[in-house]
Amino acid sequence: MKKILYLMEYPMDLPGGAQLSTKSICDAITEHASDTYEVVAVCPELLKNKPSDYSFRIRTYKMGENRLINLLYRIRAFKRIIREEKPDLIHIEMSESLITYGFIRRAFKGIPYLYTDRGMFYGYRKRSQLFMMPVLKESSALVTTTDKNRKLWEENSPIRPLFTIPNTISDSFADYDGNKRKKGGRFAIGFAGRICIEKDWPFVPVLVKALNDAGIDFEVHLVLSLFEKGDDLQAQGLRDEISGIIGAERLKYYTELSQNEMSDFYYNIDLFAMTSQFESFGKAAVEAMSRACAVISTEVGGLPEVIGKEENLYSKDDPCKAVAYVKMLSENPDRLRSDQEYFLDRYRKNYTSDAYLKRHLNLYSKILKPGK
């Protein structure tokens, strides 16, 4: 049996694409490949959960608020835990963890390692790249979540080999129940995500107003995750703006939903809208797909590759395309159903946890059994 150690700089129970994707692969290996691999995740102290809440082992370490102090904490913790665990393979899941590992990699020359870039090549500052590149040159593989990002690395760096493994989502979304899917009633448009600049929440009222001005009869379902000081004020301001446009009775607001609750949330909307100004992948879009929602999205980052349909993409410089498309779907049940079936099928073909597991196991096998 081979042991794989996953290195992270954020708690496993802090909502985020890297955390959820890491949990998904660890859960999948534990359930389906435990006779071949043992997995151990290394992350800062959990926020709410306990290590025993997970199907796999978690090793935690202390984390403070100062970036330099945190680096020192990680260096010490990574070195100690790697020596104790003696892994056969190290999978680095976040950029700060990659930089951290760079300081200690000479002490573990015999252990192969790989890195998953869940961002975009152009998203790293020059200083970060300065520290990352030497570590990546000695890695066994660099994994990206989209072909677009893989091509960026291919065109702008000497790092090889490169592989694409799209993100997956929580197993809470694994089984689709058509009986839960919304049927009839007012057209429902959903927005969901955490309060952060990348999501561009100020644009949501702009889009809602444009949709309302176009004469579309709809309601808004909004889910927000709040983490930092001031997030509650931004959330309240957003709710007030939307209510002022369509009326409070047509806004349904939720916060801090569990993954199971999020799964049910998507069943109750007809269309999910992404307004992000940056997304390396677009996990929320995949969640909506898995529940047979139509999806429209800004054409940024990795979203066009995830959406896979040009007519469902729009630019915020000219949202008229999005408005016209939503209006058409709201007035044409057959076309709406066709769009929903397209996205459910796209999820099943590309983004399930089974596909995610298979791609990782193939890569791990290549690294651990070179030449075979």
- DSSP structure string for 132-178: HHHHHHTSSEEEESSHHHHHHHHHH-----EEE------GGGSS--G
Give the E-state strand segments of the chain in sequence order: 2-7, 37-44, 57-61, 89-92, 113-117, 141-144, 162-164, 187-194, 218-225, 251-255, 271-274, 294-298, 313-314
Reported as a pLDDT band with limits 50, 70 and 90, residue 73 is very high
> At how many degrees (to 10) do helices 333-350 and 320-331 cross?
110
Q: How far apart are CA 368 and CA 344, in angstroms?
A: 35
- The domain segmentation of the chain, as residue ranges, is 2-168+352-368, 172-350
What pLDDT score was predicted for residue 15?
76
Whose CA is closest to 78, among 59, 57, 51?
59
pLDDT of residue 125: 84
Length of the chain: 372
Per-residue pLDDT band for 372 (boundaries 50, 70, 90) equals very low
Structure-block tokens of residue 151: 């091509």
pLDDT at 248 over 80: yes
What is residue 371's predicted lDDT score, i.e. its pLDDT?
Answer: 52
The pLDDT of 357-366, averaged and rounded, is 97
- Does the pTM surpass 0.85? The reply is yes
Using an 8 Å Cβ cutoff, are 118 and 278 in contact?
no
- Higher-confidence residue of 123 and 53: namely 53
Q: What is the pLDDT of residues 300-358, one digit of tens each?
A: 999 999 999 999 999 999 899 999 999 999 999 999 999 999 999 999 999 999 999 99
- 119-67-79 Cα angle (round to 5): 85
Counting residues of the chain whose pLDDT is more than 70, the rounded percentage is: 99
Q: Which CATH architecture has domain 2-168+352-368?
A: 3-Layer(aba) Sandwich (3.40)
Q: Say yes or no: do domains 2-168+352-368 and 172-350 share a fold.
A: yes
Q: Indicate whether 152 pLDDT > 90.
A: yes
Domain 172-350: CATH superfamily is: Glycogen Phosphorylase B; (3.40.50.2000)
Give the Cα separation of 160 and 142 in Å (integer).
Answer: 7
**Angle ∠(70,25,174) on CA atoms, nearest 5:** 125
**Backbone phi and psi for residue 211, each to the nearest 5 degrees, phi listed first:** -65, -40
Report yes or no: 26 and 53 within 8 Å, Cβ to Cβ. no
Contact (CB, 8 A) for 132 and 102: yes
Sheet holding 162-164, edge to edge: 57-61, 37-44, 2-7, 89-92, 113-117, 141-144, 162-164
